[in-house]
DNA sequence: GTGGTCTAGACCACC
DNA sequence: GTGGTCTAGACCACG
């Protein structure tokens, strides 16, 4: 697993860990029952505090992505993909709503937005 | 002028003030030379601290939206609209990039995004 | 007399009045015994507060540039030009010192400064 | 690091801190990635309020000189030296323009200015 | 421990 | 009256 932790980012470190693990699960790189790194060794390899990793795992657990079994480690739990997808769709909708709001105020047209979106979608397609 | 300050929002109060004043200027509701409320009376009406309003004004000043003069008050300064629009376009581009990234991971297609965008753009058009 | 008061300037208005009157005296446009505008009418024509003009006159009086005679008006007093010139030379020396300090830190060479100075001196020569 | 804060100066304290840190960065005494003192301890050693130091750091951050991260501290960010130098050159040009203006009014010749400049430049060369 | 936000209250210069 | 600066506290999220 490759993890990139940027201390320059405004996003807190624990959040960076959370999103990257979520992405691995959603992409299928991590499947149900797979084990996650032990907190201590993970923290060491990421060069962050143990507490930070612990916090990330706690959040993932609370959101149902992983399960921790004392003494045995941490594992990816079963996902209701449709539910996850729906939740993600909602957050994206909200974020997009904010962007549209700002765009209108600045007189950015619908067509300009489409162009921008098209570019961004193609770029990452590589 | 109607201002909505929510202390529940994750956005700091001073930032809420900043964006709302920016919007008023960009929409043309506030034009060059118009005077803004005095920090003390504004703070009172918003039920926030004087310092909070002052911080908002300071940021707007540093970004060139307003000018403050001791003993005279605070005024909307002349805007280089093209420059402002370009800056806004860039920030929107970055935000949209993040959304596209998340969308791909969740398997949201380009067409679904277009639909979402279309809905949001129409809704506000009322 | 032409006076230019800019509310955009960071300099206080009373100071703008002081320097402009000083300049007129130093250039010889105002000579010993000449009368200055009455405070009230002056304030009206400059569109500033009476108190502001009053403050400017007070400073000029304290520095020996003008004399006020109650009921008769305000007049330019006799100047010891050599003394004035020397005082000005000192303040310029201090300001120039600060500029040189900043220049050195930014690696601006003596020659670059000379060039800049030459340009500025020629430009206004017109 | 040696810092000199004078409460007698007309310059506000936070501005004194800003310029001194800028100078250290420009001189190369502080390099990219170096950490700055924590606001609380710094405030204590300078015998000023925490807020005052924070304001200085905030300005430096907004101008791109440093980056602050909650829980981690404050660090010197990477500099576009050419851009910084150009900005400084412009401000110096403006200040020098004002000085030249005053000089002309007082009949200080171009040669006198050169002499003054030469003296000041040599003095600090020591 | 770190920085970010908010508070109340003070003094000053300017108009 | 206005804004600008500084103060001493407080609470929060992050590591």
Nucleotides on strand E lying under 7 Å from protein C-beta: 1-10, 13-15
**Inter-chain CB pairs, A–D, below 8 Å:** 4
Output the DSSP codes for A54-110.
Answer: HHHHHHHHHTTSEEEETTTEEEEPP--HHHHHHHHHHHHHHHHHHHHHHHHHTT--H
Banded model confidence at residue D41, pLDDT cuts 50, 70, 90: very high
- What is the mean predicted confidence (pLDDT) over C21-34? 93
The whole-number pLDDT of residue B125 equals 57
**Is D70 (CB) below 7 Å from strand F?**
yes
pLDDT digits (tens, 9 = 90+) for D91-114: 999 999 999 998 888 888 889 999
Q: What is the pLDDT of residues A17-38, one digit of tens each?
A: 999 999 999 988 999 999 999 9
pLDDT score recorded for residue A124: 60
Whether the pLDDT of residue D13 is over 70: the answer is yes
What per-residue string of b and e applies to D17-36 under the rule 16 or more CB within 10 Å gives b?
bbebbbbbbbeeebeeeeeb
Report residue B77 as tokens: 């300064």
Cβ–Cβ under 8 Å, residues B69 and B77? no
Q: Quote the CA–CA distance of B17 and B58 in Å, as a whole number.
A: 11
**Half-sphere exposure (Cβ direction) of C17: Cα atoms closer than 13 Å:** 24
- Whole-number pLDDT of residue D104: 87
Q: H or E segment at C111?
A: helix C110-123
Q: How confident is the model at residue C61 (pLDDT cuts 50, 70, 90)?
A: very high
State residue B68's pLDDT score. Answer: 96
Provide the pLDDT for residue C100. 92
Nearest-by-Cβ selection for C85 from D23, D26, D106: D106
Beta bridge partners, A36, equal: A74
**What is the predicted pLDDT for the residue at B124?**
61
What pairs with residue C35 in β-bridges?
C75
Query: What pTM was estimated for this model as a whole?
Result: 0.91
Calpha distance B40→B47 (Å, rounded)? 10
Q: Which tens digit of pLDDT belongs to each residue from A62-121?
A: 999 999 998 899 999 998 888 888 888 899 999 999 999 999 988 888 999 999 999 988
User: Residue A79 and residue A83: Cα distance in Å, rounded?
Assistant: 8
Which residues on D lie below 8 Å from A8 (Cβ)? 67
Please give the residue of chain A at the shortest CA–CA distance from D66.
Answer: A8
Degrees to nearest 5, angle at CA C75 with C69 and C79: 120
Protein-nucleic contacts, chain D 38-77 to strand E, CB < 7 Å: 38-41, 51, 54, 57-58, 61, 68-74
Residues 6 or more apart in contact with residue B21 via CB below 8 angstroms: B30, B36, B56, B60, B65, B66
Q: Residue D124: its pLDDT value, please? A: 61
B58 vs B33, B44, B96, CA distance in Å?
17, 18, 28
Phi, psi of A36 (to 5 degrees): -95, 160
**Taking the CB of residue D58, how many other CB atoms lie within 10 A of it?**
17
Which chain C residues are within 8 Å of D88, Cβ to Cβ? 102, 106, 108
Q: Is pLDDT at B25 greater than 70 in this prediction?
A: yes
pLDDT for D121 beyond 90 = no
Distance CA C82, CA C62 (A): 18
């Amino acid at each position: 697993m490759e993890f990139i932790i940027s201390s320059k980012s405004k996003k807190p470190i624990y959040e960076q860990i959370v999103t990257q693990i979520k992405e691995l699960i959603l992409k299928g790189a991590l499947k149900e029952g797979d084990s996650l790194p032990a907190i201590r060794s993970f923290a060491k390899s990421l060069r962050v505090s143990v507490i930070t990793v612990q916090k990330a795992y706690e959040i993932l657990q609370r959101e149902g992505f992983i399960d921790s079994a004392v003494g045995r480690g941490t594992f990816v739990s079963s996902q209701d993909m449709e539910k996850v997808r729906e939740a993600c769709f909602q957050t994206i909708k909200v974020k997009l709503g904010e962007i549209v709001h700002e765009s209108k105020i600045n007189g950015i047209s619908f067509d300009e937005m489409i162009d921008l979106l098209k570019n961004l979608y193609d770029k990452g397609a590589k």
